[in-house]
Amino acid sequence: MVFGLDFLGFGNKRRWALQLLDKTLGELEVNPGYLDDGMKYIIYDWVIEEETRAGGAKGVLDSAIRESAALLSFCILGAEETEELWGPAVRSTREARFNIVLEREEDETLEAKLIKLVLAKGLAAPDIRARVALD
């Protein structure tokens, strides 16, 4: 910060959010290095849009980052590895969320954007790539 201003948007909020994303990905057995800085910044921007839509409600940013990391983890690891790591209940929950996004066919939701990002960057597990086609 310069003179108390968030110079170029790299203030505490962004730094904290990006650190939380890295930490949560690591906890979900995804190396945060798989996502380049550009991907992380766009995810941050999308999460901020979600927070804005929620009227800046407390906890939205934290929750959206954690939920985004869980979806990213499922897409990168795939369904089978997710089940091997956390069991069938976690796989079922994450897969259900993934399927809801596919069924809705809404391209502008946070979840849809995350799935497209992972696919576009070539990070998706083979079983995920087989289920989703980029337009």
How many residues are listed for the chain in this entry? 135
Per-residue pLDDT tens for 60-114? 899 999 999 999 999 999 999 999 999 999 999 999 999 999 998 788 899 999 9
Q: Which residues contact 122 (CB under 8 A, 6 or more apart)?
A: none
Please report the pLDDT score of residue 11 as a whole number: 62
- The total number of structural domains in the chain stands at 1
Please choose, from the candidates 67, 80, 79, 81, the residue with its C-alpha nearest in 3D space to the C-alpha of residue 29. Answer: 81
Please report the pLDDT score of residue 54 as a whole number: 85
Mean pLDDT of 4-10: 51
Domain for residue 51, yes or no? yes
Please report the pLDDT score of residue 116 as a whole number: 94
**Alpha helix stretches (DSSP H) within 1-135:** 12-27, 37-53, 60-77, 79-86, 88-104, 110-120, 126-131
Q: In terms of residue numbers, what domain contains 44? A: 8-131
Per-residue pLDDT tens for 116-127? 999 999 999 999
Domain for residue 73, yes or no? yes
Mean pLDDT of 1-12: 54
- Is residue 131 a contact partner of residue 78, using CB atoms and an 8 Å limit? no
DSSP 110-134: HHHHHHHHHHHTT-S-HHHHHH---
How far apart CA 76 and CA 50 sit, in angstroms, is: 23
Domain for residue 1, yes or no? no
What is the pLDDT confidence band of residue 56, given thresholds at 50, 70 and 90? confident
Domain for residue 3, yes or no? no
pLDDT of residue 132 exceeding 70, the answer is yes
- Say whether pTM exceeds 0.75: yes
What is the pLDDT confidence band of residue 8, given thresholds at 50, 70 and 90? low
- What angle (nearest 5°) sits at the alpha carbon of residue 120, between those of residues 115 and 121? 100
User: What b/e string do you get for 43-69 counting C-beta neighbours within 10 Å, with b at 16 or more?
Assistant: bbebbbebbeeeeeeeebbeebbebbb
Percent of the chain with pLDDT over 70: 90
